[in-house]
Structures are given as C-alpha cells and as structure tokens.
Amino acid sequence: MLTIAGCSGIRVSTDYDRKADFGKYSTFNFSKEVDKVKLNELNRRRLKDDITAQMVAKGCHLDPSPDLLVNVYIKGTTKYTATGNTTGFGGGFGYWRGGFGGFSNTYVDVNKYTEGTLFIDLIDVADKKMIWEGIAEGLVNPRENTREENLNDVVTKIFKNFPH
C-alpha cells in the first residue's frame, strides 16, 4: 500500500498544455489503467473519489462518454540513510610492555523508508493527447488511521493550480 504522507513534506508540481482550451471540457471519466494502480481496493476507491470531488469542483462531471480521461500512476522507491556514532575513550599508561591503548565502539543506524510519487494525468479524448499533469512526491505514510485524510490532502494540493 502506498499513501503519500500529509502535505507538509509533499512536493507538488503541475504542467499543462498552454494551448488547450480548458473551458471546453465539462465531462471526465477514468481510464481502465486506474483500476490497475497498485493500491488496495479501498484506497483505489478513495483516490478515485478524491479526484472526482476535485474535478466536480472544477466544473466537470463524471460521464461514460467523457471529454477527458483521468489516468493515474503510482511509484514507490525504497531509500536508506545511515548515521554513524563512535563512543569510547583513548589514552593509556605503561612503559613498553603492559601498556593500555583505550577502546571505542562504532554504531551505525540504518533507516529504511519509502518515497512515493503520484501522477495524475488528464487526456483530451478527441485529440488523444495529455493536456495536464499533476505530480506529488513525498514520504509514504504507512499509518492506517491517517491514509484517507492524507490521500485527500495530496489530491487537493495537486489540483490547487488546475487551470479550469
């Protein structure tokens, strides 16, 4: 399951076709690829509901014969960080034999985390070309109790600068 963490650490970018007339689009639907997104059924439904709410807020409605197709792609990358810490003391005593040189211990903490990227693309059905793309990148939040809220926040942030 991949749900990007809340908005504070999220990087969002959008791009769109400046020649596209966004005023002509009034209907949308989801591509068949959205049902193949690597999310469990519950989170896939949440994602579609959040996108639907944003599209409706922009003046579009869900239709079986849409002007726009919504496509979604998600990828996750596992990353690692390592931090070393050395403790101990040096010093010594003795003359030739029986000397003491001190000791130290080094500990390395390795942290594993996942960074996720959510892509939302809008495709003009008539022209068969992408006219808008929104991307959110950030740490994945595995906590179940915040998934729905986080997903909604991320989708809202992606659509914030939608040119409609």
pLDDT 10s digits, 56-114: 999 999 999 999 999 999 887 776 777 877 776 655 555 555 555 566 777 777 776 56
Does an H or E element contain 157, and which? helix 147-159
Integer Cα distance of 40 and 32 in angstroms? 16
Band of residue 145 on the pLDDT scale cut at 50, 70, 90: low
CA-wise closest residue to 56 among 31, 27, 30: 27
- Of residues 118, 7, 153, 132, the one with CA closest to residue 60: 132
pLDDT at 77: 73
> Per CATH, which fold does 7-80+113-159 belong to?
Double Stranded RNA Binding Domain (3.30.160)
Which of 6-20, 37-51, 74-88 has the least mean pLDDT? Answer: 74-88
In the predicted model, what is the mean pLDDT of residues 15-35? 95
Return the percentage of the chain with pLDDT > 70, whole number.
77
Residue 85's pLDDT is what? 77
Q: What's the rounded mean pLDDT across residues 140-152?
A: 67
- 0.95 exceeded by pTM: no
Q: What's the pLDDT score for residue 90?
A: 58
